Amino acid sequence: MTEDYPEIPAPSIEQIPEELPLLPVRDIVVFPYMVLPLFVGRDMSIKAIEAALSSDRLIFLTTQKNQDVEVPETPDLYQIGTVGVIMRMLKLPDARIKILVQGLTKARVQEFTQTNPFFSARIKTLAESPTALPSLEKEAIVRSTRESLEKIVGLGKVLMPDVLTVIENLDDPGRLADIISSNLGLNIETTQGVLEIDDPLLRLRRVNEILSSEQDVLSMQQKIQAEAKGEMDKTQREYFLREQLKAIQKELGELDDRSEEVAEFRRKIQEASMPDKVLKEAEKQLKRLEKTHQDTAEAGTIRTYLEWFVELPWNRHSEDNLDLPQANQVLQEDHYDLERVKERILEYLAVRKLKDKMKGPILCFVGPPGVGKTSLGKSIARAMGREFVRMSLGGTRDEAEIRGHRRTYVGALPGRIVQGIKQAGTNNPVFMLDEVDKIGTDFRGDPSAALLEVLDPEQNHAFVDHYLGVPVDLSKVMFITTANLTDPILSALRDRMEIIEIPGYSEEEKLGIAQRYLIPRQLEEHGITQEHLLLTDPCLARIISQYTKEAGVRNLERELANVMRKVAKRIAEGKIKRYQVTPRNLHHYLGVPKYVPDQEQEKDEVGVSTGLAWTETGGDVLYIEASAIKGKGLLTLTGHLGDVMKESAHAALTYIRSQAKSLGINPDIFAKQDIHVHVPAGAIPKDGPSAGITMATALASCLSNKPVKRDLAMTGEVTLRGRILAIGGLKEKVLAAKRAHIKTIVMPKRNQKDLDDIPKHLLRGLEFIYVENMSEVLKVALRTKNRHDLNSSLTHGHSSSGRRKKVASPVTRRPLRQSITKTR
């Protein structure tokens, strides 16, 4: 319902009552002489309007300081507002009221006389202050204001045409300031500030300042829009030109496929999420491809280069499995023992769980062949939930294999590191570098030196491949290297890696590995099941002891495969039954044993001592023989010995000569007899200092005619004064003694601490005698005629019973060796 009220003359200031209903306005400032519609929805505001309509239709309009306040209090309202008259009222269907109100004059709140159910206030009207400026200055301010207004309208400010007409014909400074302020769309605080200025000319000057500021803002906005439009026009122009070029090429029958190829490369580059430097280079090469004819050799080179760029996983990575119990379960399922390695991987995962960003470790597994170094890398990748990449470095001689070829060469490609990252499809795989100790060097560079940057955690975040020519982040990659020896590895490269030694396995461990891993795998590979074949534990033990002699289990798996093949052949011939392989019929499957007990070592002998040696394939037992014959005091050494081992023999002989009297040796024997020292298996090179005490024991036994105890093996370096120096490779030597069924080991006392690195179950059943000088070795190693027990003068090590005990004769084997023996 619309209610119109008859027009009445606007009351003078004196006719306006001192107390009026107050209407809070939220989003606008009402000026005098301003006619505007207002939508009223709050109950208190509707009641204020009803009170005004019931009397003289006059109402006081003031603005809220905060528009979001739904129920304002007196502090939420500005004190200066406008007295208005309600000209028209319309009730809306949603219970709101729309009124048309005209401002009459400004007024100030003197006192709030009522706050409920609506606001009512006692007000004081504010008359315009007379101006003291000359008419000329007044005209200048008015014109300046109009010109500023025209400028902002020219810059895009939208004002109603009728408002512009009114402004053009208005000369009153106060009314001009009011109408401009009410139509500029300024914020509430700025507009209220203009309303509260009493002096008309000061108010117009303030409006002029606002117009100048608005002009600067609009000029900057227009500049930004012009630049954006210019960029858009340039893009549109390039688009139209490109489309025209496509149309021309299509008419000529040229390069339509090339355009699609360029578009496809552009799409892949956008999807690859490349780093900024890489993206810049890719876009540069793409522009070169667009300008190059597709049949030229250069176009093919650029195309291959871009394919590598878009296929590399710049920002793709796999999520690590940080569930430590699950990762531990995977490691336990895949590998037997190797607790130190498993613990290291779990430690890395634990740190990754606590810290999201960390550098990948550089691990180096060192051990003989067949102990599971490579397969351990696969197991680590599976436990962590990462991709696995393997790269063999054996025989690598070209530096470009690591860093890649420069693009100036025909057929250039990235290095195998970048190729492995591409093959993995993620930027954080487990990357295994196999045989790092077998890298070669020639005129094409040193691959070991090229690996320094790859395996340095402080540098590999910006590894630059010669082919790509841009940084590739390798810091997220977990590098694992393997080696049989640490000596051939470049010292600077070895310093960047965390060395983890993996010794060989004892016979008990090999038995467990065969039962848990090797037999099930070979059964599956040969297409037979446990219903067809039964391998008894004594039979497995016989295969391990008499058909293999190695630190790992590779030959053991081959022998098991031989058994499986023969069973598979019989089943394929139709002889289907369950075959049981026992120690009694094992020779039918594998032939005669390859390693049999040495009969000559079944008793104590003069001049024959047992030593422990380290080889590339693990530990080994070494027999050293010494014999004296009539001659002129010469020393003969045979058995393909190296220089270091020959020097150890001369040092041992010198010590024996210096101690001849205490050993009961006639000094004249050294001038009348030649001494021959021989190490069997003469076709195999042997070198190293740790056979020194073994040679000295053999010489002392030969010259004093005292037999050496057959159940004892020894290792250690001897000096001219008989001091025993520390040796290396103790783990491998202990395993060799374990495989040879030797129970007592004589070793340098300085190596006692190294036993802590050997698993306790490997030490079970062994007795260690720690010595510091050669006299202690001879006391324990040589048999005396009265067989006195010399244990009280010695220091003993680990023993299953805690005391020295008598052991059975060792079972040793005659090996068919193919590697260099080092007694280090």
Chain mean position to CA 492: 23
Residue pair 76/65 in contact by the 8 Å Cβ criterion: yes
- Closest listed residue to residue 645, CA positions, set 619, 674, 608, 614: 614
In whole angstroms, give the CA distance from residue 582 to residue 434. 38
Residues found in the chain: 824
pLDDT of residue 190: 85
Range from 134-138, 249-253, 382-386, 693-697 carrying the lowest mean pLDDT: 249-253
pLDDT of residue 27: 83
Q: Express the helix, strand and coil content of the chain in percent, nearest 5 each.
A: 45, 20, 35
pLDDT of residue 759: 77
* Confidence class for position 718, pLDDT limits 50, 70, 90: very high
Whether residue 153 is annotated as binding a ligand: the answer is no
In whole angstroms, give the CA distance from residue 15 to residue 810. 131
pLDDT of residue 3: 56
Amino acid letter for position 579: Y
pLDDT of residue 699: 93
pLDDT of residue 814: 36
* 90 vs 336, residue with greater confidence: 90
* Confidence class for position 559, pLDDT limits 50, 70, 90: very high
Average pLDDT, the chain: 82
Whether residue 371 is annotated as binding a ligand: the answer is yes
Whether residue 369 is annotated as binding a ligand: the answer is yes
pLDDT in tens, 772-806: 999 999 999 998 754 444 333 333 333 333 334 33
Distance set, CA 266 to CA 289, 294, 305 (Å): 11, 17, 14
Which ranges of 465-597 would DSSP assign to H, the alpha helix? 491-495, 507-513, 519-525, 537-546, 554-572, 586-590
pLDDT in tens, 260-277: 778 888 888 888 888 888
Whether residue 313 is annotated as binding a ligand: the answer is no
Whether residue 373 is annotated as binding a ligand: the answer is yes
Residue pair 479/386 in contact by the 8 Å Cβ criterion: no
> Does this model's pTM top 0.85?
no
Indicate if the pLDDT at residue 489 is higher than 60: yes
pLDDT in tens, 599-651: 445 678 889 999 998 876 667 888 899 999 998 889 999 988 888 899 999 99
* Confidence class for position 11, pLDDT limits 50, 70, 90: low
Residue pair 436/480 in contact by the 8 Å Cβ criterion: no
pLDDT of residue 250: 67
pLDDT in tens, 14-61: 678 888 899 898 888 888 888 888 888 888 888 888 888 888 889 899
Q: What is the DSSP letter of 272?
A: T
Record the tokens describing residue 560, joined without a space: 């098991």
Chain mean position to CA 631: 70
Amino acid letter for position 217: V
User: Percentage of residues in the chain with pLDDT exceeding 70?
Assistant: 89
User: Helix, strand or coil for residue 85?
Assistant: strand
Burial label for 460, CB within 10 Å (0-12, 13-18, 19+), is buried
pLDDT of residue 248: 75
Return the active site residues. 690, 733
Indicate if the pLDDT at residue 769 is higher than 90: yes
In whole angstroms, give the CA distance from residue 610 to residue 719. 19
In whole angstroms, give the CA distance from residue 696 to residue 609. 9
Q: What is the average pLDDT across 753-766?
A: 83
Q: What is the average pLDDT across 82-104?
A: 88
Whether residue 728 is annotated as binding a ligand: the answer is no
Whether residue 372 is annotated as binding a ligand: the answer is yes
| 3-state per-residue secondary structure call for 127-185 | CCCCCCCCHHHHHHHHHHHHHHHHHHHHCCCCCCHHHHHHHHCCCCHHHHHHHHHHHCC
Strand segments, DSSP code E, in 297-360 are: none
Whether residue 488 is annotated as binding a ligand: the answer is no
Q: What is the average pLDDT across 386-401?
A: 87
In whole angstroms, give the CA distance from residue 88 to residue 607. 132
pLDDT of residue 724: 93
Range from 15-19, 424-428, 436-440, 783-787 carrying the lowest mean pLDDT: 783-787
